[in-house]
Structure 1
Amino acid sequence: MRIALLAPLPPDQTGIADYAAHFSRALRALGIEVLTPLAGCHDPSEQQARLHAFDWSSVDVVHAELGGGRFGEFQALTYLSQVQPQMPLTATVHDPERLIWRRAKMFWPLTWLERLPHPMPQAAALLADPLTLREERQLARRMSRLITLTQLGGDCLRVRMGLRSEQVAVIAHGNLPIPAVPLPPLEPLRLLYFGFIYRGKGIEDLLEALSRTLAAHPEHRDRVRLTLAGGTAPEMTFDPAGNYLDGLRQRIRELNLEGSVDWKLDLPSSDIASTIQAHHLMVLPYRESKKLSWLGAMRGTSGALSWANACGRGVITSNARAFAEEVSAGNGITYTQGNVDALSDCLSQLFLDPQRARQWADKASEIGRQRQWSETAKRFSELFDAAHRARPQ
């Protein structure tokens, strides 16, 4: 089988690019030929030229990765649904319950709003949303299959897009086959935030919660360490609101956490597994975007959660997105997003009973084995085969 993959790929620094790279390698290991006609293409006019030039009759299925605020893959699928109506089109939707959430280009008179200060661009997106949603639904209903990473995400996508149940499939985020490493000694207790480091990830909540927990249990101050690890995309870290990393460092000083926090910035991919396994568990304090809540509910998951399972480490996570579903097997616990006291309570429980980290790690290891990319790729292969067989003749 030959598929055309429409997706960001490394060196793009996004979770979806990393996902697409692992996904394509796993498919190739099964003997599936994966072509990437838009690889490295960021210019809309160049993308259009490539779409016109590519021989679509040479592939059996087109698959896209949708999400992360990108528009190119959505626009390419829209084009193909019109000019190649017999072609089976599938996509993994990383940010359900919507496909793209906002339009790539506004129409007049909303275009001038985009040039004005906040909150005018957000108002433009909100005013254009009925048209955006209509375009999303039109494409979604033409798709052979839409895949989500969680059941909650699939249910929300199906309802919001008005899809038939057979159009939506759930295939959990794949995991790399990482050799098991026992937990480090439980003292000091090592906590890890892993992911891109920019506003909206709730990192400030984690620092505040750790400060409150250590104030309530001062005897643990020298027995707990937190590592902040991950990527620092410049366009997100250095924004109009100021240098976010400098702001975090200032907050750490204000909370008297300088002796408790370590940094591992721009972590090389080769060091991710060893870094995670050098810790006892991961803490993901994500908050859902208040801006996006006007447009719908984001019910995706996180690549960091996938890494935790692959490395056999549990998680403490907020209940944002579909995280509660992801830790429902006993591989961690959730708290109400944005509730610093609730997060502090979770940390206190762990400090007083660190054996919980072992229990969560055991469950995470089981999940990691079940979701290895080799097994995930087989499920996609079966889905692609079914979509190809159902192709109108």
Structure 2
Amino acid sequence: MRIALLAPLPPEQNDIADYAEAWSQAMRVGGVDVSTPLRGQTLSPYPLLLARQMQKVDWGAVDLVHAELGGGNEFLALEWLAENHPDLPLTATAHDPERLVWRPMRLPGPLALAERLPRPLYLMAALLADPLLLARERSLAARLSRLVSLTAGGAQCLAQKMRLPSGRVLHIAHGNQPLPAEPLPPVHPLKLLYFGFISRGKGIEDLLRALAILGRTRPRLPVELKLTLAGGAVLGRAGSDLERLKEHARRLGLSESMLEWRLNVPIGQVPRLVQSHHALALPCRASPKSAWLGRRRGGHGVLSWAAACGRSVVSSDAFVQAEEVSRGYGAVYPQGDCQALARELGRLLDEPQLLAERGERAADLGRERAWPRIAEQFRQVFEPLRRSRAE
């Protein structure tokens, strides 16, 4: 079976690129020939330029095209393929359902002038254009052979939003790397990890505020708990965001010895990083824009790493975390509720046995979602589509 993959790929730094790279490797190990004909190219948002890029690829040499959909122009590439190669089976994983894409590639008509305006005005124009974008999404979704969501709730909502019949949208969980079990670190101090982009709007401020709240009743907190904030950072803005977060921690009175900042962690070091901690914190917040356009219900890469490494999580209920953590490997609190987050962290300090219990459940889930099993599920979806085309 020969599949062409349309997706952002490393060295791009985002969750979808990491997922696509792991997915393609797992599929190849499973015996599927996966090519990335547009790797290293930035897909153009302009129709004529995009058409030139697409025409350089021999699409007749593949049995099927699969795309990873989120914030990039892969959506436009699928539209082009649906129009110019109508007999070619097209499938996609929607990483942030209820939608195929969460922002217009280019604003239509006179609204395009807003692309040069300050961000608040641009966002207002994007909201005005959203009904047109949703119509395009539904049109493309109707022409896809299958859509995949990384969560069960996402699959249900995506089918409703795209007005697709039962069976066209499938749930296949986020895969994770099979890793050998690693025992938890010594109980004291509690080692907590935030892993994600170091920037504003990710809930890091809530996590720091929760530690400050906890410290009011636990004067020994700086020796009881250590927090590592690790992950990617966007060059240019990252420095200012990092300094603002450090200043926020200082204003809250948090001891510098309690915090460690680690930027741009190489992917190969992630397992050791996660397994050197007791638990992960996911203090995510949904943006106001998301509230207008729908709820993001895609899988979360950090939750996948937690399962792969056998580590528990303390997560907000933003996006899809509540559905995932309901499997028993962590605790959920209302997003933005710093008091509730502080209580959950305090509970881990007072009841350290929870770390082992939840960690074992995470490890069970990790084995269930190992990449070889996930790749086989995708292969079973693709095989009938390839055969029907050949017939």
**TM-score strictly above 0.5:** yes
Kindly state the Cα deviation for residue 50 of structure 1 after the two structures are TM-superposed: 2.9
1:317 aligns to 2:292 (yes or no): no
Residue type matched to 1:148 in 2? S
Residue type matched to 1:147 in 2? V
Query: 1:107 maps to what in 2?
Result: 108
Q: Conserved in 2, the CA contact under 8 Å of 1:280 and 1:357?
A: yes
TM-score (norm 2): 0.96
Deviates more, 1:92-101 or 1:263-272: 263-272
Kindly state the Cα deviation for residue 211 of structure 1 after the two structures are TM-superposed: 1.1
1:55 aligns to 2:58 (yes or no): yes
Query: 1:73 maps to what in 2?
Result: 74
After TM superposition, where is structure 1 displaced by more than 6 Å over at least 4 residues in a row? none
Kindly state the Cα deviation for residue 46 of structure 1 after the two structures are TM-superposed: 5.8
Counting aligned pairs with the same residue, the percent is 49
Residue type matched to 2:220 in 1? E
- In the TM superposition, 1:95-174 aligns within 5 A as 95-174=96-175
- In the TM superposition, 1:183-332 aligns within 5 A as 183-234=184-235, 237=238, 243-257=240-254, 258-332=256-330
Kindly state the Cα deviation for residue 389 of structure 1 after the two structures are TM-superposed: 2.8
Q: Conserved in 2, the CA contact under 8 Å of 1:191 and 1:225?
A: yes
TM-score (norm 1): 0.96
Residue type matched to 2:252 in 1? L
Distance 1:47 1:363 in 2: 46
Kindly state the Cα deviation for residue 256 of structure 1 after the two structures are TM-superposed: 2.1
Q: Conserved in 1, the CA contact under 8 Å of 2:51 and 2:80?
A: no
| Alignment length (residue pairs) | 387
Distance 1:236 1:311 in 2: 31
Instruction: Describe the superposition over 1:320-342 as per-residue Cα deviations: whole angstroms up to 9, x where unpaired.
Output: 11111111111101100111111
SS of 1:152's equivalent in the other structure is helix
- In the alignment, structure 2 segments of 5+ residues that lack a partner are none
Deviates more, 1:288-297 or 1:277-286: 288-297
Q: Conserved in 2, the CA contact under 8 Å of 1:315 and 1:333?
A: yes
Kindly state the Cα deviation for residue 49 of structure 1 after the two structures are TM-superposed: 2.1
Instruction: Describe the superposition over 1:199-252 as per-residue Cα deviations: whole angstroms up to 9, x where unpaired.
Output: 2210000000011112122233311100001011226526xxxx1100011011
Distance 2:237 2:285 in 1: 16
Distance 1:7 1:305 in 2: 21
Residue type matched to 1:366 in 2? D
Change in CA separation of 1:236 and 1:76 when aligned onto 2, cut-off 3 Å: farther
Kindly state the Cα deviation for residue 392 of structure 1 after the two structures are TM-superposed: 8.2
SS of 2:376's equivalent in the other structure is helix
Instruction: Describe the superposition over 1:290-334 as per-residue Cα deviations: whole angstroms up to 9, x where unpaired.
Output: 122111111122101100100110100001111111111111011
Distance 2:111 2:303 in 1: 38
Distance 2:211 2:245 in 1: 14
Q: Conserved in 2, the CA contact under 8 Å of 1:86 and 1:392?
A: no
Distance 2:243 2:166 in 1: 48
Distance 1:376 1:391 in 2: 24
Instruction: Describe the superposition over 1:321-366 as per-residue Cα deviations: whole angstroms up to 9, x where unpaired.
Output: 1111111111101100111111111111111111111111000000
Distance 2:361 2:368 in 1: 11
Residue type matched to 2:389 in 1? R
Q: Conserved in 1, the CA contact under 8 Å of 2:150 and 2:173?
A: yes
Distance 2:204 2:306 in 1: 18
Q: Conserved in 1, the CA contact under 8 Å of 2:177 and 2:308?
A: yes
Query: 1:345 maps to what in 2?
Result: 343
Instruction: Describe the superposition over 1:94-135 as per-residue Cα deviations: whole angstroms up to 9, x where unpaired.
Output: 010001122111123112222222421011101111100000
- In the alignment, structure 1 segments of 5+ residues that lack a partner are none
Kindly state the Cα deviation for residue 370 of structure 1 after the two structures are TM-superposed: 0.8
Change in CA separation of 1:22 and 1:224 when aligned onto 2, cut-off 3 Å: same
Determine which of 64, 67, 72 is the counterpart of 1:64: 67
Residue type matched to 1:181 in 2? E
Kindly state the Cα deviation for residue 272 of structure 1 after the two structures are TM-superposed: 0.7
Q: Conserved in 1, the CA contact under 8 Å of 2:100 and 2:137?
A: yes
